[in-house]
Chains A and B, each alone.
Chain A
Amino acid sequence: MKSITGTLSQRVYLLRLLVRRNIKNQYYRSFIGVLWTVLNPLLNMIVMAFVFSAIFGRQTNGLDYPIYILSGNIIFNIMRSSTSSSLPCLVGHTSMLQKTRVPIEIFPASNVLSSLVTFGFSFIALFIVAGFRALPIFGGPHYTFTWETLLVVIIIPAVTIFSLGISYFLSALYVFFRDIKHIYSVILTLWTYLTPLFYSVEALNSELVTKAMVFNPMYHYVEGFRMLLRGDIPNLMMTFSVTQPSILAMYGFAILLLIVGWIFLEAMRNRIAANL
């Protein structure tokens, strides 16, 4: 028993070192370093708000449009950055995986956790924007803070687990098929457009989209986060009649993907070390 907890704490220590290294390497060459993680979604938000506010700006269920865009993007980015960095991560650590007894699953996990750190910085950016929009300038306060925003802690673990599942699956698959990198980047682009990041489901006013959206896991995470920003709490159960994010769906998708990804990685474990 003592050795099990000992091994676990050792793994956690290794994971911490790897996350720290990821973050360091990420900003190693960038001049403004960590500030870039804050600036990147902000610049993105400014451009998107400028272009789309006239079309979609009015139909966000009362959430200020810049906050609407920013909140969607930073949640989606957890999944996007962790999966796209995990895709080549096993191949990238070939010498380590072939020559040391390092547990394979630690590399995708470290990438996902690094993305969470980036999310932390982006969340600060969101707070700054929200604070700015709460001021009585440019036509009065557009946003009011609510305590429910703190409940974001129930959404983040679900997105993390979901991203981890996809990361496990992709990193193992990439060992065998190097061209899925291109396929996945197309999928990721399509997924970005299929998720209401700059538009809202209501604005599209299409029955098909409304019905299909329930099956997009990212919809639940993104829209659930926005509900909290508005001061609402997402439903627990899944509803098919009305398109609404549900906590059950968030964790359902997350755990399903984690199981699929984990089983795939576990089944391929030996072939990965032999195939690299």
Chain B
Amino acid sequence: MEESRQVVLEVRDVTMKFNKYEVGVNTLKELVVRAFKKNLKKKKFECLKGVSFDVHRGEAVAIIGKNGAGKSTLLKIVSGILKPTSGYAKRYGRITPLLQLGAGFDGNATGVENIYLNAAILGYTKKEIDAKFNDILEFSELGDFIYSPIKTYSSGMMARLGFSIAVSMESEILLIDEILAVGDMAFNRKCHAKLAEMREKGLTFLIVSHGEAVKKYCSRAIWIDDGLVREDGDINTVFRHYTEEMTKPVTPPPPLLKPAEEKPVKGEKTEKHKKHEKAGQ
């Protein structure tokens, strides 16, 4: 019992701020021009505001919430792709972030080469990949296609290969971002069976999803709303509250103050401009 309560993911006060330019500045020319015109508006956009939770070994946790609530950012922080502005996320154990299937496949390389490349990107050594190679090949059911360049694959085949690599490699924590709809129906069923098998083995799951399908794996859910943990507890309760909120009759949004304030300012400017022009004439 003591063993099973071991914390494998520790998320403490994670706050994430992004610099959001009004207009995306991505050239030096634009930066200089805007700096001269003094309209380099920088907005701090707070995506996560002090999120804390623990995940114990063998637990399966679903993260739910509206689009743009910060779920994916949270997953990136947990997996270590992003560093939070403040707070920390600690991982105790090997982690496989499954945020996008086949992220980092190389179109010109064959399936075999991509298996090695992709698994190496996930952090595995050649020896470990060699040991799992046949499992991956078998699970993906790609047959002789594995020796063809990836660019000849259909998107379904690519997703199959990506999924096969991720689930075949031995990891302790699996992070999944809404990618449970893989391939055709038969393969999809196989994926779910594989995930269930991994659950039984005691792998820790952290799944971002909207669907009810996660209830199959997860016993606990964390509802992220507007960058905060709204509710953390039994999956059925949290899902019920979440569904209630989502299906609530839509109240008219409060009047947007900012644009209304800005508009007259803009108008003034243009009027001033016109006056200048008139004066000039």
User: What is the interface of chain A, defined by CB distance below 8 A to chain B?
Assistant: 6, 9-10, 13-14, 17-18, 21, 24-25, 28, 93, 95-102, 176-180, 183, 269-271, 273-274
Contact = CB atoms under 8 A, between A and B. Distances in A.
Contact of A100 (B103, B108, B124): B103
B28 A102 contact: no
Interface of B: 18-19, 26-29, 31, 76, 79-83, 95, 97, 99-100, 103-104, 106, 108-109, 113, 116-117, 120-126
A21 B120 contact: no
B104 A178 contact: no
A9 B120 CA distance: 11
B83 A269 contact: yes
A142 to B, nearest CB: 43
Contacts of B83: 269-270
A107 to B, nearest CB: 11
Given A13-B126, A100-B97, A176 B26 contact: yes
Given A6-B125, A10-B124, A270-B83, A99 B99 contact: yes
B97 A17 contact: no
B80 A10 contact: no
Q: 6 tightest A-B contacts by CB?
A: A99-B103, A96-B104, A179-B27, A177-B28, A99-B99, A99-B100
A101 B79 contact: yes
Contact of A177 (B19, B27, B99, B121): B27
B28 A179 contact: yes
B123 A178 contact: no
A9 B124 CA distance: 10
A163 B101 CA distance: 33
Nearest to B73: A274
B97 A274 contact: no
Given A21-B109, A24-B109, A274 B18 contact: yes
Most chain B C-beta atoms within 10 Å of own C-beta, residue among A25, A96, A98, A101: A101
A154 B95 CA distance: 41
Contact of B81 (A14, A17, A93, A98): A98
A269 B84 CA distance: 12
Residues of A contacting B: mostly: helix
A102 to B, nearest CB: 5
A21 B27 CA distance: 30
A97 B81 CA distance: 8
20 contacts: A10-B120, A10-B124, A13-B126, A18-B117, A21-B106, A21-B109, A21-B113, A21-B117, A25-B106, A28-B108, A96-B103, A98-B99, A99-B97, A99-B99, A99-B103, A177-B26, A178-B26, A180-B28, A183-B28, A274-B82
A100 B121 contact: yes
A197 B124 CA distance: 44
Given A9-B125, A95-B100, A98-B100, 13 more contacts: A13-B120, A13-B125, A13-B126, A14-B120, A17-B117, A93-B104, A96-B104, A98-B76, A99-B103, A100-B99, A176-B26, A177-B28, A273-B76
B146 to A, nearest CB: 17
Contacts of A10: 120, 123-125
B81 A273 contact: yes
B100 A101 contact: no
Given A100-B103, A177-B27, A183-B28, A14 B121 contact: yes
A95 B103 contact: yes
A178 B101 CA distance: 28
Contacts of A273: 76, 81-82
B113 A101 contact: no
A21 B82 CA distance: 26
Contacts of B100: 95, 98-99
A100 B125 contact: no
Nearest to A28: B108
A18 to B, nearest CB: 8
A35 B98 CA distance: 40
B44 to A, nearest CB: 13
Nearest to B120: A14
A13 B109 CA distance: 17
Contact of B27 (A9, A96, A178): A178
B173 to A, nearest CB: 12
A93 B76 CA distance: 16
Contact of B123 (A95, A98, A99, A101): A101
